[in-house]
Chain A
């Protein structure tokens, strides 16, 4: 498992660094971070139960995200965004809101 998870991280860095890549490829690679972050984040916010999208009132993750996004946008602080997000979810659960 250590090898299986290490190889995908190591090989591209070892073989691609220091080479002159095509500008188009570099432009593409620069778009990977926003793409991969969104691909990991969005399903975790929307799909809260097996196999269905939840836009409902109960989806605490989604509501906390609706506050956390403006906090991140205007506050520009990662630490504050994480604290506000976690705080809202904790508060929501204490008030008996969603799961």
Chain B
């Protein structure tokens, strides 16, 4: 194991999280604004960002809450929407062999689409730099909570983040991360197949499950390409 000073490891994690911060503050902000307008109480709005910390699930929950949906339906919907994390978490496990159960519990609590994407790009670092990985996660959630608070404050003042292009932060980040993932032909084929299938499924009305189904099919297809191209 490489000996790295703890403070330096923390800073490295914070630095790697910066693109996430850029995306999370505005999206957390938008969530805070929307939650404020949906009639959700301020303490519940903030608690969701602290305890749930799942962007799309929180947006959906706020939308359902505003529409008067009951708690059971909201919980079930968010569960289905976040099932994709099952695959993400599973794909990181080969790199987490030496971690203690307690560290794993903390790490997985702050695993989101974006932190997962960063961790999977630098997956080999997970084995040596636990502190860096945790610092990255904590920075990400901190910026999410910060954005939420700012949004709650601004809920009465601003109702549109579009003129600043803030709504594009996530898409731009996924583009950057996806490109860095496509270093082989099999991986490129995987991405194209999964992206195309997801679009078709989404259009067909599978708004809850399209990510999950397209991911499983895409990875399987990519594995086929990988095996076939080796022969």
Contact = CB atoms under 8 A, between A and B. Distances in A.
Given A14-B101, A39-B194, A86 B169 contact: yes
B107 to A, nearest CB: 7
Contacts of A33: 88, 91, 116-117, 120-121, 181
Contact of B168 (A18, A28, A29, A64): A64
Interface stretch (B2-10, B28-36, B147-155, B195-203): B195-203
Interface in A76-90: 76-79, 81-90
A42 B196 contact: yes
Contacts of A13: 89-90, 92-93, 96, 104, 107-108, 111
A31 B165 contact: no
B44 to A, nearest CB: 10
Interface stretch (B76-84, B128-136, B138-146): B76-84
A56 B229 CA distance: 36
A1 B57 contact: yes
Contacts, number: 262
Interface in B163-181: 163-181
Place the interface of chain A in its size category.
Answer: 35 or more
- Majority secondary structure, B binding face: helix
Given A8-B86, A32-B91, A84-B172, A18 B222 contact: no
B158 interface: no
B37 interface: no
A1 B74 contact: yes
A50 B182 CA distance: 30
Contacts of A43: 195, 198-199, 202, 210
Nearest to B182: A34
A61 B171 CA distance: 8
Given A37-B174, A37-B178, A90-B165, 16 more contacts: A4-B82, A10-B109, A11-B89, A13-B90, A28-B223, A29-B90, A39-B198, A40-B174, A41-B178, A43-B195, A65-B175, A82-B22, A85-B175, A86-B169, A87-B165, A90-B164
Interface of A: 1-2, 4-14, 16-18, 21, 24, 26-47, 51-53, 61, 64-65, 68-69, 72-73, 76-79, 81-91, 93-94, 99
